[in-house]
Amino acid sequence: QSTWDTTLLSHNKAMAKALKRIVNALQSARTARAAADILISGEWINVRSHVSMEQIRDTIAPSILRVMTRFGENERVAAEACHAFCVLAAGDDAIVAAIVAAGAVPLVVAALSRHPSDVGVQANACFALSLFATTGAAIRSAIVAAAAVPPLVAALQGHPSSLSVQHFACFALGILAFGDGAVRAAIVAEGAVPLVVAALFGFPSVAEVQAKACFALASLALGSL
């Protein structure tokens, strides 16, 4: 066995131990503070590269969701759980599908609705929903069915000075509206248009906000391009 093979095997074993440690810690957390500390541990990026979709769907995501269910009234837990999903899911549609299959959408929407004044929860929940929504029509429908539109619009209204909230809320609403007339109508009826325009004026020099706000307005005005 080569040195490289030995090193790789040792690394994979270490990642397996890390995954087991995180899951066990989440399952045994007795307080919201303990759960949040585990969620913020910073190991998600390393774990993400060394686990299967099945492990994410059947073990990791359910562990995070159980913590959200048990301690969801705690802002830090809600924010860090949503952030963990963002780190796990970023750039990988298969991982998003696994997380959504585990039941993440309604709990992320619930976090967004439950903590309207906490900018960390709002930013991370909007980020997570925007990542989920990019994956496909079925997941977008699930997000809409979970009543995500009102709290997404409320996030825009409630945090006009937060670059992250404005960026991710505009992006999420734009994706949800894209090509779906009924959803466009619901977003417009909720009062999103003037809030998206306000985001444009609020961050004139921030390219990310400008791009996502323009995309949202285009989706709301044209439907599909």
Using one digit for the tens of pLDDT, what is the confidence trace for 110-167?
Answer: 999 999 999 999 999 999 999 999 999 999 999 999 999 999 999 999 999 999 999 9
Distance (Å, whole) CA 219 – CA 223: 5
- Average model confidence (pLDDT) for the chain? 87
Q: For residue 57, what pLDDT band results from cuts at 50, 70 and 90?
A: confident
Q: What is the pLDDT of residue 49?
A: 67
Distance (Å, whole) CA 57 – CA 75: 24
Percentage of the chain with pLDDT > 70?
86
| pLDDT above 70 for 215 | yes
Distance (Å, whole) CA 35 – CA 192: 34
Q: Which residue has the higher pLDDT, 36 or 164?
A: 164
Give, for 15, the enclosing helix (H) or strand (E).
Answer: helix 3-28
Cβ atoms of 134 and 143 within 8 Å: the answer is no
CA distances in angstroms from 33 to 78, 115, 165, listed in the order given: 11, 17, 24
